Structure formats: structure tokens, C-alpha cells
Structure 1
Amino acid sequence: MSKLTIVANIKAKADKVDLVKSELLKLIDTTRAEDGCISYNLHQDNDNPAHFLFFENWESRDLWQTHMNNTHLKEYMRATDGAVDVFTLNEMSEIEN
């Protein structure tokens, strides 16, 4: 099993930035306590406050998949339904030198 890095870009609708941000913040403590979570850090673009980015590191893809199927993510999806314009997810592997 190799470490997995996730880069998740979330772009909220202009009138839903505060809602999306508050819902994203709710994910942090619960996710950091999950098995396999190495790091889970939320960022907000300095020039475009509607753009959020999660930079995540997981012990394995299987443990990340467990996270993706957890209740708190389903609750986030319900709470932000219609409030997000763009969501992209990149699964990445670190190139060790």
C-alpha cells in the first residue's frame, strides 16, 4: 500500500461562499480522526474567496475510499447541494527523489 495525495478543488457559487466554507470546516476534525488520514488541510484562495482547496494525504487509497463513503461527507453533499459550481478531485502520488 502506498501513500495517496488528494487535491480537491471546490468553487462555490458567489452567493454561497459562507455556506460552503462553514460546511467544509465541519469536515476537518472528523476526517483528521479517521483511520489512514495523515493530513487534511483546507485552503482558501486569497484573490478568489469562492475557491477552496483541500490538500490531503492518506496512508492508502483503500482508507481514502472509506473516508469518501463516510456519513459526514454525505451530509456535506446534502448541505451544499446547488451551492458549488466546480468540484475537481485529483488522486496523486508523490515522486520521491
Structure 2
Amino acid sequence: MSDQIEVVAVLQAKPGHEAALEAAAKACIAPTRAENGCISYVLHVDTNKAGKLVFIESWTDKPALDAHMQTAHFKTLAGQLEELVDGGASAVTIDVLKKIA
């Protein structure tokens, strides 16, 4: 296993807050991609569930991910989640077991 860390974060917008959640999430993309240790930070939309956003992130290591969670742009997004997200955010941190390609 490597030090690289992958994160999958799922955010389901509260009814009527879909556009606001998408805007808040998009505002976090550019500054996050500029962070040291960010390999990939991609926002996806669930094609089967309106208002569901999925971040798929790759970080060089846990310290890089920890540093990301201390940035102003992450804290701004996190501070909006209670108002915008139904049931809170869910996230799973995973490690690459074996790269196939």
C-alpha cells in the first residue's frame, strides 16, 4: 500500500437547496486543486438522485488531507453544510489496495 489517500464524500442537498449546495461545492474546487498534496479533486453529480453531489479526491498522504481540512475554503464549505445538506455529509477515506492499470 502507498501513502496516497482517496476520499469519497457524498452530499445530498436539502430540498430547495440544490443550487446553493452546488455553488458552495464548486467554490471549493479551484483553491483545493492548488493545494500542495492534492492529486485530484473532482465534483460529480449523481445522475439518479437530484441534488446529490459526490467529491472524489486523491491526496499524496494523510498530512496533505489534514492540511486541506484546515484551509479557509474547506472550513467555509463545511460551515454551510448544516444549512444545505440533508442528514449531513458522509465520507469514506480509502487506500488503494492494488492498482490494476
> Structures share a fold, TM > 0.5?
yes
The TM-score with structure 1 as length reference comes to 0.92
Deviations 1:13-67 (A, max 9, x none): 0210000000100111100000000000000011212111000000001110000
Shift of 1:83: 1.3
Identity of aligned residues (%): 27
Q: Which residue is 1:28 aligned to?
A: 29
Instruction: Answer 1 or 2: which has greater strand percent.
Output: 1
Alignment partner of 1:4 is 2:5: yes
Shift of 1:80: 4.1
**Structure 2, unaligned runs of 5 or more:** none
RMSD: 1.3
Maintained 8 Å contact 1:20/1:83: yes
Number of residues paired by the alignment? 97
**Structure 1, unaligned runs of 5 or more:** none
